[in-house]
Amino acid sequence: MAVSEPSPTAGTQDAAPKREVIYRHALVVRATHWINVLCLALLLMSGLRIFNYHPALYWGNYGYRGVPAVVSIDAAVDPDSGAPVGVTRIAGLSFVTTGVLGVSRDSERGMVARAFPAWLTLPGEPGLALARDWHFLMAWLFVVNGAVYLLFGAFSGHFRRDLAPAADQLRARHILADLWDHVRLRAPRGEAARRYNVLQKLAYLTVVFLLLPVMVLSGLTMSPAVTAALPGLFDLFGGRQSARTIHFLVANLLVLFVLVHVIELLLAGVVNGMRSMITGRYVIRPQAGP
């Protein structure tokens, strides 16, 4: 068990703890992981560029300037100084976000009114057609890549063996202990590092089976051709603008996931983690003594 720490008398007596190399990630998992990194990065950047053309989100089927927005990122003018001010509104609350959202600096033009700054978007300058081209090309790659991953995961035993929490991991005590390890930013060592920890498994399962499918379906709901064939998508999301809002919010959740994912990588060891996702080989470090 991950929570039980070895006593000084047991386990370490026979020999000095050894460094062991295991084969952690199958080739398909590694390849689809990195293709996914490329897809999600370009989907996010092109998606933000598209968003910049109408930086407001609504609920229902219709939504345009004048309809109450759930979220909006606008530029206003400071009445005193006359300077542009970035204003982000979320569910009725207003935040001044000058410099990042609404208004951001441009090396050539100074402060520019735009929802997301150019460095976050693809293309950086106005270019709706190109952003849509990139978004849809990457969406196709993402879907094909995801299908390969799902088929592999289902038939190779990857989901059952690596992602499904083991019975012992689902006990409340274990989950709480794992949570406490995360709070203390303590990465698993030794035997516990042979498998994903339970919060890690739940996070991956949520992303693979909930967030990413919702991204695909909510994206498809914005396509008038797709909804002609599958009008039930309107009902699933509560309308085209609702789907657009959900698409944006879930994209934010995915960014949050990636941030935590990268932080965990840094905590658990960036060299070991990167090597395992590139070559498949992962080093199990000996468990630290008490």
Residues 168, 174 contacting (CB under 8 angstroms):
yes
Q: How far is the CB of 116 from another protein (least distance, A)?
A: 12
> At its nearest, how many Å lie between another protein and the CB of residue 161?
32
Window contacting another protein (CB under 8 A); options: 97-105, 172-180, 240-248, 267-275:
240-248
CA dist 140 and 161 (Å) reads 28
Binding part of the chain for another protein, among 18-26, 64-72, 91-99, 180-188 by CB under 8 A, reads 64-72
Kindly state whether residue 223 participates in binding another protein, applying the rule CB under 8 A.
yes
Contact by Cβ (8 Å): 88, 73: yes
Q: Do the beta carbons of residue 219 and residue 50 sit within 8 Å?
A: no
State the nearest-atom distance from the C-beta of 162 to another protein, in Å: 27
Count residues near another protein (CB under 8 A): 46
Where is 258: in which H helix or E strand? helix 240-268
- Report the residue from 175, 207, 217, 226 that binds another protein according to the rule CB under 8 A: 226
CB of 44 to another protein, least distance (A): 10
Output the six-digit token pair for 143.
């879907």
193 binds another protein (CB under 8 A): no
Q: Which residues pair with 281 in a beta bridge?
A: 23
Query: Is 130 a binder of another protein (CB under 8 A)?
Result: yes
Residues in contact with 179: Cβ distance below 8 Å, sequence separation at least 6, in sequence order:
199
Q: How far apart are CA 214 and CA 285, in angstroms?
A: 37
Measured distance CA(144)–CA(281) in Å, rounded = 26
Counting contacts by CB under 8 A, is residue 127 touching another protein?
Answer: yes
Comparing CB distances to another protein, the nearer of 209 and 234 is 234
CA–CA gap between residue 217 and residue 12 (Å, rounded):
52
Closest to 156 measured CA to CA, from 280, 29, 282, 24: 29
- Interface segment toward another protein; rule CB under 8 A; list 135-143, 152-160, 202-210, 252-260: 135-143
Q: Which is nearer to another protein, 69 or 85 (CB)?
A: 69
> Residues with Cβ < 8 Å from 178, sequence gap 6 or more?
2, 169, 197, 198, 199
**Candidate ranges 92-100, 146-154, 158-166, 218-226; the one touching another protein (CB under 8 A):** 218-226
Q: Which residues contact 96 (CB under 8 A, 6 or more apart)?
A: 85, 86, 87, 88
21-60 residues in contact with another protein (CB under 8 A) are 41-42, 45, 50-51, 53-54
Interacting positions 96-125 with another protein (CB under 8 A):
118-119, 121-125
Q: What is the contact surface with another protein in residues (CB under 8 A)?
A: 41-42, 45, 50-51, 53-54, 61-67, 118-119, 121-130, 132-134, 136-137, 140, 222-231, 234, 240-241, 244
